A and B are shown apart, each in its own frame.
Chain A
Amino acid sequence: MKIAYSHLIQHIEENPSVSELSKSLFQLGHEHEIDGNILDMEFTPNRGDCLSINGLLRDLAAFYTVELNHEKYTKEIDSLSLDFVNLSDGICPKISFLKLEVDQIPEVYHDFLDNYFLDLGVNKNNFFTDVSNYLSYETGQPTHCYDAKKIGSKFVFHEIESDEEFETLHGKKVTLTGKNAVFSMNNKVVNLAGVVGGKSTSCSAGTKTVMIECAFFQPEAIIGKSVKYDIQSDASHKFERGVDPGCHDNVLRRFINIVNKHTNIVDMSIISYNYKDNPAHQIPSNVKKINQIIGINLSEAEYMGYITKLGFVIKGGLITVPSFRSDIKTQNDLAEEVARLIGYDNISRLDINIPKSDKKNYKNIETKLKYFLLDQGFYEVINSPFVNFSSEEAIKVDNPLDSNRKFLRTNLTNSLLDNLIFNEKRQKDSIKLFEIADIYSSDGAIQKERKLCLIASGRIGLNYEDFSKKINLKYLSNLFYQILPNEDFDFKLLSRDSLDTKIKNEIISLEINIDQFSNDILAYQEISSPPKSFNKYSPISDLPSSFKDISYSVKDLSNMKDLQDLLLGYKGDIVKNIYVFDYFNNKRTQEIKIGFRFIFQSKKITLTAAEIDVVYNEIVHLSLGIKGVTIPGM
């Protein structure tokens, strides 16, 4: 909600600067951003009472001398005769109507009213609606203006459950479905309660007789309606969070006062319906409990000093909660009020000693399995569980994000297969991935399994021993046999037939319930360890990479180290990776053949062959400068 600093400040005696005010608002828990004169407030959902100038000032009274002295009409008002029936007084336990007739529509507004529209960039509408909008900003209570000449007989408030067509005052046509709280006239909906009024009874620029509705609706009846019908309104935002049931008389008298300042009222009458007694909520005053909750040591007087600033009244050992604070019900709620006023950051910390648990945490089969797989070059992935369809047992999401995510996956293999293809398309030629996750399915009852899935394809490794060896069933079976010789694993060779790829490497996968592993795995001594620090991430390129191989003949063996240092240490903007993919030491001829693979990729452009050649030629030139090093064929 946007609130102008200049509108607040005129009621605060101390005249705090924007930054001082901002600090106070943060201490009170009211997040906001500042844009010049405008405070863009983000109130927590329990603080609907702050959604107005007056509401925010009531909270700021904790720190400042606040004057809440808006003028209002004080004389007696005639009783309004209205053919109104409330059939759902549980939803609307309190409602008032004020009828006003003016002799002229004002053409010019007083500064305070004009400034509201100017400062906040709000569009003007018609006089009565403008006053209503301003009052909602000032008091937090939305009011609705009907053109009184369009209100006939049988005016009813009720919750309906039948489908009804409704046109909003902005001309949007909606079909109301399910339960809706509405006002109807002659069995036609004229107002979607707490959200938006209807076109058929709305005010126009020429409206001189208005009927103003001022109501309290239970938030439960309003919540979700604005989203459901895609109607954003200030009223629904406030009613959803709860308004002050005790403010009607003040708000309507303030309405009269503002109209009076602008034009001559020739007739006015009012009626209030109060269907349920709503006694003020009271909580025993208990400073000891408050001190216990917060961990401080306030005196009774200090405690009272804090909460009376917020409008709470203490009498006879009882604290009466003001009608606008429907969020305050318990001692813990009061403790939060006191803590806010002290300032959370001003509360001293106290030692805490949690008794140590004797239960052994964490080192288990799953952790061991993970480290075994890391040692073999597998990377852990996490995939979303939402899929298009996987099997008859798949659990259906009632409200999916889209049609491609309407079921929960019943296997991990398909997710990992997608991950594998994704990485192959990024020119990866040695891919080993695994995931451990809970899988849910339903055969009438919901079933849960904790599963490990791994998938692998391509070269066994990117080093000169493993480069030319391909991952296959035997390779993976052997890996597992080495540590778990007594267990059988059902590795699968996955078909590439339906995959969008030209790569022919075999794809091997394993999907298995974690509880099928025996404790034998616990004896495995891992090589990998969790990283000691949290590496800073370097943004990756989505552009294609390419490679070049250079094979050297080294006859002066004393220079082998120089060659390796030069090439493996080579740094260049477009050189992403360098490794030795081939190595042969021919002791008979006293010659070493060594092959280096250079992976090129730019973060900015798709590299051309010429751009790669510039770097390649430099590498060749530098390396051939080493004595006894040649590139056969060059």
Chain B
Amino acid sequence: MSEYKDISPPELVKDRGSLHPINHMKDSIMNLLISFGFEIINGPEIETEEFNFDMLNIKKSHPARQMHDTFYIENKSNLLRTHTSPIQVRGMLDKKPPLAFISGGKVYRKDDDATHLPMFHQVEGIYVDENVNFAQLKELIYKIIYSLFGNKVELRFRPSYFPFTEPSAEVDILSEEGKWLEILGCGLVNPVVLENCNIDSNKYSGLAFGLGIERIAMLKHGVTDIREFYKSNLDFLSQFK
């Protein structure tokens, strides 16, 4: 037997928990945007048609307002917000430009399959000031995407359509496998929306953007089935420390 030594015990491994990867991603993006000058505002998940649709120039006839797309509650008196944009409407009604808000949180749409869930998360931002233009929006989006995916990533802007922005764009990044992946939607705030929020659209213009957190988290973490995020499986959650 060797001579006895005061041997140190094995490392006492204390398990630390982890933030949910969706909340971690949401916080990371929000923190990045704060560093660009944005300020966080919050709003309710239960909204009115007025704030969720009307104020955002989403007409009564828009398909998103149908019962098969939007969850209505309490005899259609309210709804579960379908995006985080109504928070920004509330923010614009509350404060005069220049203003730069971000809001993040849960949103609800009546979908349920391998790529869509009835509940998911968004982060949206809006910046309203004098002479805000599309070329500046592009610069901001490049900054956001370079911060998230590195400044070597290739991106492209595609014309798109959102009732609350005009011009509108969707932005794709080129994956390592050579496939274009949609990352976010953005545009210049539709002057109709500014006027709805009592902002003089002749004097001010704005830019807005929105990201689906699940989509970015899936790409960054390599998760292929969106449902994995919400099984509360410790084998899954413990991988995101």
Contact = CB atoms under 8 A, between A and B. Distances in A.
B178 interface: no
The listed residue with most A CB atoms (<10 A of its CB), out of B10, B25, B74, B228, is B10
A47 B17 contact: no
A156 B13 CA distance: 81
Interface of B: 1-2, 4-5, 7, 9-10, 12-20, 22-25, 27-28, 30-31, 34, 36-40, 44-46, 59-63, 66-68, 71-76, 78, 80, 98, 100, 110, 112, 117-119, 127, 129, 131-140, 142, 156-161, 166-169, 188, 190-192, 205, 217, 220-223, 228-241
Contacts, number: 294
13 contacts: A47-B161, A294-B135, A332-B188, A361-B34, A397-B71, A398-B75, A448-B44, A448-B46, A465-B12, A527-B16, A531-B241, A537-B222, A537-B223
B119 A385 contact: yes
Contacts of B142: 349
Given A223-B61, A379-B237, A381-B232, 12 more contacts: A224-B63, A293-B205, A294-B135, A333-B166, A339-B167, A340-B167, A349-B142, A354-B36, A380-B17, A381-B237, A382-B229, A590-B4
A583 B8 CA distance: 11
B31 to A, nearest CB: 7
Interface in A337-384: 339-340, 344-345, 347-357, 359, 361-362, 370, 373-384
B61 A220 contact: yes
A398 B70 CA distance: 10
Contacts of A348: 135
A361 B100 CA distance: 13
A432 B17 CA distance: 8
Interface in A291-343: 292-296, 330, 332-333, 335-336, 339-340
Nearest to A242: B61
B72 A398 contact: yes
Nearest to A358: B39
Contacts of A295: 133-136
Contact of B135 (A350, A381, A537, A540): A350
Interface residues of A, number: 114
A433 interface: yes
The listed residue with most A CB atoms (<10 A of its CB), out of B22, B30, B166, is B166
B134 A352 contact: no
A276 interface: no
Given A219-B61, A294-B133, A556-B2, A377 B232 contact: no
B134 A294 contact: yes
Contacts of B223: 537
A528 interface: yes
Shortest beta-carbon contacts, A-B, top 5: A29-B159, A295-B135, A295-B133, A354-B37, A336-B167
A292 B61 contact: no
B134 A423 contact: no
Given A375-B16, A534-B220, A557-B4, A408 B161 contact: no
B63 A45 contact: yes
B74 A398 contact: yes
Contacts of B140: 352
B124 to A, nearest CB: 15
Interface stretch (A12-20, A163-171, A456-464): A456-464
A417 to B, nearest CB: 11
Contacts of B46: 395, 440, 446, 448
Given A440-B46, A558-B2, A590-B4, A380 B135 contact: no
The listed residue with most A CB atoms (<10 A of its CB), out of B17, B24, B25, B156, is B17
